[in-house]
Structure 1
């Protein structure tokens, strides 16, 4: 058997922001790597904490960059959060959306009623990243949470990558609301919780999945919680200097400069990368 990672695993679960694209631009080397995986017939899934797009839109974005992707290969934290809400609430319950319309659509699809005003007496608040989230939406969330509503966040990512560098992510917006209401969310659904990765493996019947991500505190910790191997690529948030004194829960199995590490010897075990530094 080849030593290349591509020959060791039957499913490759990719994070998106910082791994496949940054903003609307492809990460260098990502598209050729994804094409090569497709040509080999390898299993591919995309697991994203970003709640601002629905699965078909995410697949369209990936395809528009030149890499093949289908909507059923995409698993979003917004989808997972909507399922959690549906399991906890009665059908038809009102849920206040602090986030993008895509999050509201996911909530609607599971039989709940998405609202934008605390005056509509929502029984829950769901908060996810959206570029339009600002004071007005946070104020509605504040009123609803202080009024006793259940508060669920799609994820706690403090930043998200952009061509200009890291920008505030949903975790930063959650922190703003937490400061106002004096407490943390009742539940955070997305990575590093293992559900997205476990769903991807289960839906595809994978026996040897590997998670590919750029964040130690979400992608890598989530893979470790799910009992899966991981590849950290240095194309997004994490820099080489961040790999010094990494706690066990944040240690990837392998580290590579980019997705080319799936096919060549540029991917090295974490322990070896640490020694080389």
Structure 2
């Protein structure tokens, strides 16, 4: 029985990993579809598409999936029309949440998002109810281990000259922040200097954070995970602050 139990646990764990991997592939394929639909199927002429393809390749999305998403968007294949929608709401104890979705069925998506909020101690809010609590920025992370001899001051000057707003140096990384409109220009300038990025994206940062402990923190983790498990959800942003043990559950 012990062996059977162990095998059952392994199968369950692998099944969960495969499910999550499949969802990531689908999310990234949708991003490619939208980018190609809006700006054309040539990544050399479409910076948004190039960024989406780079992100997909970094997550080991097969080339066939990438090509199929571009083909659907450009009319080479029969496809569906996706719409980008953002939902706003509150979690336990007033934690602010932004949910970015990509969907071909708005009614299905809003229903699933609302259910996730309601079942996990949150409330879906009106448009504009929490968005003002976040700043949208370009975010580039360079792994210091990959560049042990880099001169911090020179890197910062190069990033700022390219259009970056600021750079923070941590024990294991350099974090560069840009205006969303300057993101691609800064990225390309640093790539031309042979820098690789551990992370390169335009994302949301909370202006302030809400610290939770105990049951409220656990509820918040369940809400975030429930939202991220939804097929149409691309990203979940929040201003939760909690102990490391809690944050590692996300």
Q: What's the TM-score once normalised by structure 2's chain length?
A: 0.26
- The structure where helix makes up a greater share of residues is 2
Larger radius of gyration: 2
**TM-score, normalized by length of structure 1?**
0.25
